Structure 1
């Protein structure tokens, strides 16, 4: 049977997490931001679930989330660190909003990248990391942001659109 080596090679490659799978569309997300002054040096989770209960099989890994980021509002925000969790954290809540503000030192394992953008200009991004893999496998992904550069004003938004997730087998 000379076919055996031909069948084993793809299985070995697949087990290494290098076989890319087709991208899956994810619904757009709009994060409503509080004023930076009230959220100074905090990770802000607004309670939006990026995956909405859709899970990926446990054998998949190296998930990448790609899309466009568009910042709108009166502030001058230009850079945020992005975090993701499979459940909404219990941190400090903001009265009148469904926002949780967490200490970044407790969230470092949840960080999946940085977005740099210009107000009013849609900017491409790609995010990845173990926290993104875990959230996708759990079927829930609550996105948080931490201001790195600039200021947001109450009511400013960060829209994540044309979202596509792909993983490797």
Structure 2
């Protein structure tokens, strides 16, 4: 079974993330959307909330599993019986950052493969931080996030502002 792991903070999940999950689901028997606990970030949503939101948003993708983890990515991927990491890229700046991370993982785990997938041009401008900023100032996020989560995301962002 070919398993692809799509790690990220998903705070909040965007339609760009869903695009990568859906397209990855055609390449792998199972895709794991793995919410990563990043101690360097102060998330808007708890780990459990992000897992719940991802689960709701990905209901239409039959071969996806939502999970969460902390620690080294390559260790988590190995525990999932995989060697494939899927990373979505929006722009050249994403590539530079992700390429360095992929090389580091490859250095410590030579069998690990990182697959870079360019996001659809429809979503290339979307970022979680951009969504939060837009909503914080009352801008519309319709079409940027899954419709089933839009109200929850807007409410939380405005509560925190």
| TM-score (norm. length: structure 1) | 0.26
Q: Which has the higher contact order (CA 8 A, sep 6+)?
A: 1
Bigger share in strand: 1
Bigger share in helix: 2
Larger radius of gyration: 1
